[in-house]
Amino acid sequence: MARRALEVTPPAPNTLHRQSPSSENSSALLFVIGGMLVLVILLILILLLWKFNKPEKLRKSLKRNGSLTATKDFWSGSLQTISYFDFQTLKKATKNFHPGNLLGRGGFGPVYRGKLSDGRMVAVKKLSLDKSQQGESEFLSEVKMITSIQHKNLVRLLGCCSDGPQRLLVYEYMKNRSLDLIVYGNGDKFLDWETRFQIILGIARGLQYLHEDSHLRIVHRDIKASNILLDVKFQPRISDFGLARFFPEDQAYLSTTFAGTLGYTAPEYAIRGELSEKADIYSFGVLVLEIISCRKNTDLRLPSEMQYLPEYAWKLYERSSVIDLVDPKLREDGFMEKDVLQVIHVAFLCLQPLANLRPPMSKIVALLTCKVEMVGTPMRPAFLERRRKTDEKLSWDTISEVFSSPLHSESPSLPRQQN
């Protein structure tokens, strides 16, 4: 009986590996968690692939209705982050680029007024579709240039668009449009002397920033009245950087193919292709004379001796009657004669025949604001002595022959400003 009591009954075969209820629940939970992790990883991979390879149509649909997104430039990958506008948005804003919204035309292409869905007014510059590779490079150049600089006297880029063959730049809208529409007497606006001086000084400060104060040394190459925009308070903004060039700090000038507008072109650049910031300074001098006289630098409708503005201004200067250059409406309105004479003096310094005789823009700003004394007598400016002939075009073979600027002639001095 004692031996039988010590015997242990072996367990039934089907109960040797049975798990407890808690073990079964843990296994199920691990299976569910593992499945969820795999699903999350797959979703993340799908989202990453969708983000970097989403279809063009889907990308466009996400950006319609005037929405803006910050996007890396997708032409060359080298531009800063800028805002992207959908082409259909700009097409709608400009009413399908209606001629009634045309603000003007430049070398790049037409510029249209537009109104976005949020009520903002913009200026849309559209690359001409018949442009060659040069036009495409000008588009990229302008985007790179304008996104790398910022100054109150430079136009501000809001964004751009690249859709198939379409290339557009979107700028802030300037209510008073471009300076040429006012200066050339085609508009109904009259600028008093205070406003004209404000415009001249603002352009000078914008050029000083480009040449000397920006982290990049930049030559604009196309300073002229149509490239100066005016805001609601007639503050000037330099625009159209399609021809602008970054300039090496260690080089006095670049040898390059001529580009720009001939009437504003410095002789060393037009003849020998020697480009430096002094080419902009020469253009600025021509522009100052236009603002003061309220006329174009070349007007073949005028009498022979008045047709070319720098030449005519110098003839008046030699006769000690340079005040006759001033816009007749401005003379009727009243102005400070000594202030106008000082600005004309500065313009002649900018038009000197040799580049090294033209003062830098920082000196010009100081002269305009009377922070330094006006000293020195300007030489006869370099200007084109072109002859009026029917349908005649100036050829590059003869351009060096028609530039005239004797370097050793006696020059009368402007009346000195009285303290």
> What does each C-alpha distance from 9 to 12, 18, 69, 245, 301 come to in angstroms?
9, 18, 78, 100, 129
CB atoms within 10 A of CB 275: 24
> What confidence score (pLDDT) does residue 287 get?
97
Bridge partners of 168? 126, 161
Nearest alpha-carbon partner for 165 in 124, 189, 133, 141: 133
Lowest mean pLDDT, pick from 68-77, 286-295, 320-329, 356-365: 68-77
> What confidence score (pLDDT) does residue 64 get?
41
Say what angle helices 361-368 and 193-208 make with each other, to 10 degrees: 150
Mean residue pLDDT of the chain comes to 78
Summarised one tens digit per residue, pLDDT across range 92-131 is 999 999 999 998 876 668 899 999 999 999 999 887 755 4
Taking residues 65-70, report their average pLDDT: 39
> What does each C-alpha distance from 86 to 67, 75, 110, 161, 168 come to in angstroms?
8, 15, 18, 6, 10
Q: Which residue has the higher pLDDT, 296 or 15?
A: 296
Query: What element of type H or E holds 330?
Result: helix 328-333
Bridge partners of 83? 70
**What CA–CA distance (Å, rounded) separates 293 from 325?**
6
> What does each C-alpha distance from 268 to 78, 217, 255 come to in angstroms?
33, 19, 10
> What confidence score (pLDDT) does residue 223 get?
95
> What confidence score (pLDDT) does residue 374 get?
72
3-state secondary structure (DSSP) of residue 245: strand
pLDDT band, residue 362 (cuts 50/70/90):
very high
Q: Are 226 and 186 in contact (CB under 8 A)?
A: no
> What confidence score (pLDDT) does residue 149 get?
84
Cα 104 to the center of its chain, rounded Å = 15
Domain 69-172: state its class.
Answer: alpha beta
Inform me whether the pLDDT recorded for 188 exceeds 90: no
Cα Rg, the chain, nearest whole Å: 34
pLDDT band, residue 200 (cuts 50/70/90):
very high
Bridge partners of 275? 254
How many residues appear in the chain?
419
Residues 6+ apart with CB under 8 A from 41: none
Domain boundaries 180-404, corresponding CATH code: 1.10.510.10
Q: Where are the domains of the chain?
A: 69-172, 180-404
Inform me whether the pLDDT recorded for 304 exceeds 50: yes
Summarised one tens digit per residue, pLDDT across range 4-53 is 544 555 555 555 455 565 666 677 777 778 778 888 888 888 877 766 65
Summarised one tens digit per residue, pLDDT across range 123-158 is 998 877 554 455 666 677 777 777 778 899 999 888
Taking residues 289-294, report their average pLDDT: 95
Q: Are 314 and 383 in contact (CB under 8 A)?
A: yes
For the annotated catalytic residues, the residue numbers are 222
The residue whose two tokens read 């040429």 is: 180
Summarised one tens digit per residue, pLDDT across range 255-272 is 777 778 888 999 988 888
CB atoms within 10 A of CB 30: 10
Helices vs strands, H then E, count in the chain: 14, 15
Percentage above 70 pLDDT, the chain? 72
> What confidence score (pLDDT) does residue 380 get?
85
**What is the value of pTM for the model shown?**
0.73
